[in-house]
């Protein structure tokens, strides 16, 4: 019984770690969305010859 619980604990830990990582990435990109969009659009306008019209 304890061995089965050990495997479940490892799986639950990995699930929680993945959820926390995903939520934190979403929050980070949500907060920095405007600065990321302006950075990308500035790069596209400064190197217009490399991008499709």
Residue 36 near residue 29 (C-beta atoms within 8 A): yes
pTM of the model: 0.60
Predicted pLDDT at 22: 97
Residue 53 confidence (pLDDT):
61
47 band by pLDDT with thresholds 50, 70 and 90: confident
DSSP 1-53: -HHHHHHHHHHHHHHHHHHHHHHHHHHHHHHTHHHHHHHHHHHHHHTGGGS--
Confidence class for position 39, pLDDT limits 50, 70, 90 = very high
- In tens, the pLDDT along 8-35 reads 898 899 999 999 999 999 999 999 999 9
Distance of CA 9 to the CA centre of its chain: 25
């Amino acid at each position: 019984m304890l061995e089965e619980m050990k495997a479940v604990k490892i799986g639950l830990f990995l699930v929680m770690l993945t959820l926390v990582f995903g939520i934190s990435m979403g929050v980070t990109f949500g907060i920095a969305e405007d600065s990321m969009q302006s950075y990308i659009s500035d790069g596209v306008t400064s190197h217009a010859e490399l991008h499709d019209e």
